[in-house]
Amino acid sequence: MAVMPGIKASSCFFLLRSMFITAVITPLIISCGKPSAAERTSSNAVEHTGAWLTTNGSYELDLAWKSGPQTGMNNVARLTVILRGDATFPLQKITVTPWMTVHGHGSGNVQPVVENDDGGDATLDPAVGVYRVSNIFFVMSGPWDLKIELSNENENGTVTDSVTVPVEVPGA
């Protein structure tokens, strides 16, 4: 290998290695993380990693588990809804439907309950709605979809959020 005068071969190796790391490895590291807004608005269900836009783009939703997800229990989550564009509150209806696509079934006759849950906090932004979703029942472990539907007199929006309910190990 031809080396420039005054530069040792070992220095060239370290220089080439650092250039490789900068050119190849750095973009891989940077590309990790949350999906882009376009990916989050996809109607395809993927693992929940943050806020989602409804299909009509009027609302941004974030679902945080308070208990669960687990099988055979009353799972509870906090749903935060943020207005986007010309969307308005109050929402007249919010429904949450658990569905296990791979088996083609839901949770039977158990329906999740959605209640206002702003905690009496008068400092909350009026463009944000906070709701407690309880009675989310998963009959078995595995991949589930939570279909969240919002509506008021002017618009409707839907989000499908994927949830993986873990297998419970007795005594663990």
Q: The domain spanning residue 70 has which CATH number?
A: 2.60.40.1930
What pLDDT score was predicted for residue 135?
Answer: 95
For the chain, what percent of residues have pLDDT higher than 90?
30
Instruction: Please indicate, yes or no, if residue 128 is contained in any of the structural domains.
Output: yes
Instruction: Please indicate, yes or no, if residue 26 is contained in any of the structural domains.
Output: no
Instruction: Please indicate, yes or no, if residue 129 is contained in any of the structural domains.
Output: yes
Please classify residue 52 by burial: count the beta carbons closer than 10 Å to its beta carbon, then call 0-12 exposed, 13-18 middle and 19+ buried: buried
What pLDDT score was predicted for residue 57?
Answer: 77
Q: Tell me which H or E stretch contains 16.
A: helix 9-20
Q: Which of 112, 33, 32, 99 is nearest to 65 (CA)?
A: 112
Q: Is 34 a residue whose pLDDT tops 60?
A: no
Instruction: Please indicate, yes or no, if residue 3 is contained in any of the structural domains.
Output: no
Instruction: Please indicate, yes or no, if residue 120 is contained in any of the structural domains.
Output: yes
What pLDDT score was predicted for residue 152?
Answer: 78
Average pLDDT over residues 43-64: 64
Instruction: Please indicate, yes or no, if residue 136 is contained in any of the structural domains.
Output: yes
What pLDDT score was predicted for residue 32?
Answer: 34
| Longest Cα separation, the chain | 81
At 134-163, the pLDDT tens digits run: 999 999 999 999 999 988 777 788 888 899
What pLDDT score was predicted for residue 119?
Answer: 67
pLDDT bin (cut points 50, 70, 90) of residue 52 is confident
Structural domain containing residue 58: 37-165
Report the range of poorest mean pLDDT among 23-37, 44-58, 81-95, 106-120. Answer: 23-37
Instruction: Please indicate, yes or no, if residue 11 is contained in any of the structural domains.
Output: no
Global confidence as pTM: 0.64
Domain count, the chain: 1
Query: CA–CA separation, 97 vs 91, rounded Å?
Result: 17
Instruction: Please indicate, yes or no, if residue 58 is contained in any of the structural domains.
Output: yes
Handedness of CA 95, 111, 48, 116 (dihedral sign): positive
